[in-house]
Amino acid sequence: MSSSTGIVMQLNKNHACVMTNSGEFLRLKISKTPPIVGDIYTGLVVKDIPFYKYAVTAATLAFLMLFSSTAYAYYTPVASVVVDINPSIKLDLNKWNRIIKTTPLNEDGKKVLSELKVQNKSLNDGLDSIVIQAKKDNYINEDNNKNGNIVNIDIESSKSINDFNISKFEEKAKSDNIKLNITTTTNNKTNDKFDNTIHKETKTIDSDKNNKPNKNDNITVPESNKQNNNNNNNNSKNNNKIKSDDKDKNLKESSYSNAKNKNNQEDNKHNKNDTHENDHSNKD
Amino acid sequence: MELVQLSLDNRDEFIAQSKAFIYNTTYNICKRKLYFENDDELSISLIAFNNACNTYNENKGNFYSYAKVLIKNALIDYFRKSSKVPYVVFDEDDDIKDFIDNKNSLTKYNIDSENNRRAEEIALFSKELLEYKLDFSTLIKSSPSHKDTRDSLLNIAFKCIKEQHILDSIKSKKLLPVKEIILITGSNRKLIEKWRRYILILILILSSDDYPYIKSYLKIKVGDRNE
């Protein structure tokens, strides 16, 4: 900002139009004492902001908004997957099935996670590397394998399982002789009313652990028969797989009471959380 | 300034006393060494000074500032009319000496009355601008900030003022006859079209006799083409 002197030709609200003695027409800022037309006036030159500066600011703002909204979308978890071998790990997924957060649920899980990095990997790759790491650390080994290693995968999201596209991992697991046990829990977090139903669902999973029910949008508290029907009717593809898994599991149930116990513990945790949620909803 | 001093009886003596003032005023515009024996510019200034003595009255403010205005305008008119137009430029260096002179000789009353007359001129001028659908706000957007551009536009305007038919066509059509200006000045069409408003303003100010104060406020001097 430079100051200039000239004859005041026209007065506007905040500035004076001025002609300098070097033939320039300028706009000067009016200070405390306003001039009158015809005065020789000295003041700071007001320059119009050129168009490209507006364009640059607009572009920067648009870019920032785009960047922040994608970043926000990227780091918003929409699904969580609990992998339970013996080390159990919780993976948070964003809507592009990328792992954005990992939480160990027990000491073994902590150990496995400390040795590998699955953040920002796709779910397929992440599960793969977890299984490989578990093998390295001897959680999955040949001795167990004879009896069948079981990997429990518990997917909790509002999307259907087909969206997760973990077939690659499934194939690989098959070739490695690992039994997969995939459970999906669907929750609609759209309404506060549904909190109760979600809670019920998880509960039923606890009680009917032997069957490992596969659940969809049904909100009512299902009886065991009904569940079986559901299993048969809905998501046929996955159900078949799970059913076969279930059979296996039933056979080996007695020898794998350890795994069961763990599940129990976890479920208890779930229950605690759920009761908390209930309290909140009551308060509301 | 006493009116008595300006009476015809004392005129010779008074002009002889004021020769230094006349020389300085002329020198400020011409920026070269001048001789009373040789240079037309000084004769023009003397005539203008004498004219100022004739027309001066007390409500025209300070006599010397009035005389300065008249001398400047007379010289600008002379450049306009003379066959070989010198290269004219806007003067940008602040004349400190001139500034001190003004401070000493001008009282607040004088400054005020000068401002008043300038305000009248500006009111008249903006009325004329309205006929051309111009106002000062739009002028600010279409006035060049680069000194070289302003100087070349000033010279284009000077050349146009000499041609009566261009002035006539501006007055009647209220538009700048771009084609004819290109023919006369041999300059770039783009330049003239871009700065047409500014050229129009310069022509209006410099060609008219209605705006002596605005005209004399513009510091126009004779410069070198290579400056």
Does residue A64 sit in the same domain as residue A83? no
**Predicted pLDDT at A65:** 97
**Whether B169 contacts B177, CB under 8 Å:** yes
The answer on pLDDT for A266 being more than 90 is no
Question: B176 versus B3: which is more confidently predicted?
Answer: B176
Q: For B152-182, how does the pLDDT look when each residue is reduced to its tens digit (9 = 90+)?
A: 888 888 888 888 888 888 888 888 888 888 8
CATH code of the domain covering residue B10: 1.10.1740.10
pTM across the whole model: 0.53
The per-residue pLDDT for A214 is 42
Among B32, B60, B84, give the residue marking a domain's end: B84
| Residue finishing a domain among A69, A91, A124 | A69
The total number of structural domains in chain A stands at: 2
Structural domain includes residue B196: yes
- Is the same domain home to A123 and A16? no
Measure CB to CB from residue B150 to each of A7, A24, A37 and give the nearest one. Answer: A24
Examine the domain organization and report whether A5 and A96 are in the same domain: no
ipTM score for this prediction: 0.70
Instruction: State the residue range of the domain holding A26.
Output: 1-69
* A113 and B CB contact within 8 Å: no
Considering the domain architecture, whether residues A27 and A117 belong to the same structural domain is answered as no
Provide the pLDDT for residue A64: 96
Same structural domain, A193 and A275: yes
Same-domain status, A41 and A85: no
Structural domain of B188: 116-222
Q: What is the pLDDT of residues A156-215, one digit of tens each?
A: 877 666 667 777 777 877 777 777 777 777 765 444 444 444 433 333 333 333 443 444
Lowest mean pLDDT among A132-141, A243-252, B16-25, B80-89: A243-252
B89 occurs within a structural domain: no
Question: In chain B, which ranges are continuous DSSP H helix?
Answer: 3-6, 11-17, 19-30, 40-55, 63-81, 96-105, 108-131, 136-141, 147-162, 164-173, 178-185, 189-194, 196-207, 212-217
Residues 123-142 of B with CB under 8 A from A: 123, 125-126, 135-137, 139-141
Q: Is residue B45 over pLDDT 50?
A: yes
Q: Based on the domain organization, do B124 and B210 belong to the same domain?
A: yes
Q: Smallest Cα–Cα separation from A90: which of A276, A279, A209, A266?
A: A266
Judge whether A192 is closer than 8 Å to chain B, CB to CB: no
In this predicted structure, the answer to whether residue A226 has a pLDDT above a threshold of 50 is: no
| Whether B122 and B218 share a structural domain | yes
CB B157 within 8 A of CB B192: no
Closest CA to B210 of B124, B134, B129, B150: B124
Distance of CA A201 to the CA centre of its chain: 21
To which H or E segment does residue A202 belong? helix A194-207
Q: Is the pLDDT of residue B120 over 80?
A: yes
Residues A84 and A207 both lie in one domain: yes
B225 band by pLDDT with thresholds 50, 70 and 90: low
Q: Determine what percent of chain A is predicted with pLDDT higher than 90.
A: 7
Q: Which of B139, B143, B218 sits opposite A21 (nearest CB)?
A: B218
**pLDDT for residue A88 is more than 50:** yes
Residues A149, A216 within the same domain: yes
Given a cut of 70, whether residue A256 has pLDDT beyond it is: no
Which range among A36-50, A91-105, B24-38 has the greatest average pLDDT? A91-105
| A19 and B CB contact within 8 Å | yes
Mean pLDDT of chain A: 70
Domain tally, chain B: 2
Does A175 share its domain with A44? Answer: no
In sequence order, which residues have a C-beta less than 8 Å from that of residue A273 and are 6 or more positions away? none
Looking at the structure, tell me whether residues A29 and A104 fall in a common domain.
no
Same domain assignment for residues B79 and B121 = no
Chain B residue numbers with beta carbons less than 8 Å from the beta carbon of A51 are none
